[in-house]
Amino acid sequence: MALLVHLFTITTWLSTLLIPLLASALSFNYSSFSPLSDDNITYQRAYPDSNRVIQLPPNPATAGRATYNKPMHLWDKTTRNLADFTTHFSFVIDSQKRTICADGLAFFLAPQGAPAIANDDKGGGSLGLTKDIEPLNSSVPFFAVEFDIFNNTWDPPPTHVGIDINTLESVNTVTWWSDVGGGRRNEAWINYNSSTHNLSVAFTGFRENTTVIQYLDYQVDLRLHLPEYVTLGFSMATGSAYAVFSIHSWEFSSSLEMDDNFSTNPVLPPRRRGKNRTILIVGLSLGGGVLIGVLALIIWVTGIGRKRYDEDDNEGNNQGLNEYVDYEFELSGPRKYSYKELSQATNNFSDEQKLGQGGFGGVYKGISGETNAYVAVKKVSKGSKQGLKEYASEVKVISRLRHRNLVQLLGWCHEKNELLLVYEFMPNGSLDSHLFEENRFLTWELRYKIAQNLAAGLLYLQEEWDQCVLLRDIKSSNIMLDSNFKAKIGDFGLARLVEHSKGSETTVLAGTLGYMAPECAMSGKASKESDVYSFGIVVLEIACGRKSIDHTMDKQGNVSLLQWVWELYSDGKLLQGADPRLCGEFDEQEVGRLMMVGLWCAHPDESLRGSMGEAIRVLNFEAPLPILPPKMPVPTCLYPPVGMLTVDGIDSKGRTM
């Protein structure tokens, strides 16, 4: 009987993870487009040509669309859950050397069944998204990311990329360094995180014949603008002037957690009801149940579920989680706290005790009743889709590590449907607050020591511990400062363990835009070298006092810190990149050395980056400065598979999703 109870508990828990994914995903991948009939894509005035690309005829005053026929379930009315989605596509806009060209191309979401382009609509400034007469007040709601090459009255002056919501007057734009005259191929990645409502866009541009990656983001709750089910695709248009528009490839993936109450009945998009639909639902339910039962039995037989269940411990609260996780956590070192202890320590998690908020949830200051010392309590958000995974990873990884430059995990708790982690308290907070907030300041001496502390912590993780720890999300907001401003690495939620002989892992894309190595963003490959890249970016932030991506950087729209510093290096003006708030109060040799190490570690070619040991020797003046090319090299790949963009996610505002 006890065995059956355990099997049922674990089966129920596993079903909460498997069934929602089974019921709600939409995913497809087109590396090219067949000129033959395709039942999954509807074309209107645009068509796949003999080159297997979707093309809009190069004629004046023409609008066209290509839409995917199956609807995307954007949000669920019952639970109010919102989908995550990501897409990657490649395209060409070719002016064919014309000095005046128009109009643009857009990726869009619109209500399922939205009207097609009317016969009398000529495109132009509407980009085929709205009726010609209502570009600024559409009668049909839509969301779009536009690549606009013509300056209408509502547009910013240059060629730009914009985010549109129900109007062609974009809610956010950035100058696009396009090469329309050269007709070069572009890449774009669009990612939406339902927990933070952050939409991030990355796309290629060209400067001085060099490919660069630009960024744009906006925070929006799409439930407020679009219905539950939407259609998705591309629209493109010409005006009195024109260009050649073509889509070369398209990948898309979305996922929606359908039921907060863990229903085992998959919910499918509305469609024709009948026998086949009934068979499909029953088949999925039975098949999922058999799979879950087998997995549960394996877990039990291998011993994970053999620990006696304490019915008085957390009755009705995270029972499946407790049975699975307690066994391993109790071997890890940090102690188990009760929810009551942590609630009392943080004054019932009051706002007055809150230290900060991220994509994972909130962090609260508390007083340990056992030691009467301050602690920091991380309360994982119930809306965080990676909460359970990050929670388990953090306990199992960080609890086994011991180093002066790592934040110490003191304990854990999972009761009352809450996931909580207890850390040593870091009085001076996170590094980013001291670098970027006006009312805080770090002297150069402290900055240089912080960089050395961070390097020492990473060397331990990469070379000195039993296994290699890949952090996958090194950024200034994850570097904590104690009372003496000693730096400690403080977030292991995305960490992975690999053998030293392997040194890398291919997984879903994880990290933060601006800190992520090109090869990691393009292939999902996390490695020691990709963590070194992130270290290099943080080092540049320390030296320059600027964010890795900063839209206010200069009038030319240079938003990449790495590109900006490399240009200073090319011009022989590296010291001019030092944080102006230092007012020249710094050691010039140390500034130059730190910035050179930053460029070296953030080299676009992973094989040419320094190791952490080499970086430490340079920072300690024990090795010569690295030799770098005068111009920033171009990343060797620009094609991240969309499947790598769907789980851990990224956020250009510096939050982990």
Domain boundaries, the chain: 26-255, 328-424, 431-645
Answer whether 0.75 is exceeded by the pTM.
Answer: no
Question: Higher confidence at residue 601 or residue 383?
Answer: 601
Question: Higher confidence at residue 584 or residue 657?
Answer: 584
**Average pLDDT score over residue span 162-171:** 89
User: What topology is assigned to 431-645 in CATH?
Assistant: Transferase(Phosphotransferase); domain 1 (1.10.510)
Query: Among 235-244, 280-289, 368-377, which stretch is predicted with the lowest mean pLDDT?
Result: 280-289
Question: Higher confidence at residue 142 or residue 524?
Answer: 142
- C-alpha–C-alpha distance, residues 358 and 364, integer Å: 12
pLDDT at 410: 87
pLDDT above 80: residue 465: yes
Residue type at position 396: K
pLDDT above 80: residue 261: no
Given pLDDT bands bounded at 50, 70 and 90, which one contains residue 581?
very high
CATH code matching the domain that covers 328-424, chosen among 3.30.200.20, 3.30.1490.20, 3.40.50.300, 3.40.30.10: 3.30.200.20
Residue type at position 548: S
- C-alpha–C-alpha distance, residues 329 and 399, integer Å: 9
- C-alpha–C-alpha distance, residues 165 and 142, integer Å: 6
pLDDT at 368: 84
pLDDT at 132: 60
Annotated active-site positions, please? 473
* Residue 261: Cβ within 10 Å count: 8
Q: Which two tokens stand for residue 598?
A: 């930053």
Strand (E) or helix (H) holding 592: helix 588-601
Given pLDDT bands bounded at 50, 70 and 90, which one contains residue 382?
low
pLDDT at 63: 85
pLDDT at 168: 84
Q: Tokens 């690549």 belong to which residue?
A: 147
Q: Would you list which residues are annotated within the binding site?
A: 379
> Omega of the bond prior to 531 within 30 degrees of 0, cis?
no
Write down the mean pLDDT value for the chain. 78
Question: Higher confidence at residue 283 or residue 336?
Answer: 336
Strand (E) or helix (H) holding 531: helix 528-544
Just give the CATH number of 26-255: 2.60.120.200
Q: Is the CB of residue 535 less than 8 Å from the CB of residue 612?
A: yes
Distance of CA 410 to the CA centre of its chain: 28
Question: Higher confidence at residue 264 or residue 404?
Answer: 404
- C-alpha–C-alpha distance, residues 93 and 185, integer Å: 8
Q: Would you list which residues are annotated within the binding site for ATP?
A: 379
Given pLDDT bands bounded at 50, 70 and 90, which one contains residue 616?
very high
Q: Tokens 């029972």 belong to which residue?
A: 319
- C-alpha–C-alpha distance, residues 181 and 98, integer Å: 7
pLDDT at 309: 36
Given pLDDT bands bounded at 50, 70 and 90, which one contains residue 587?
very high
Question: Exposure string (b/e) for 278-315, b if CB count within 10 Å is 16 or more?
Answer: eeeeeebbeebeeebbeebeebbeeeebeeeeeeeebe
Question: Higher confidence at residue 137 or residue 531?
Answer: 531
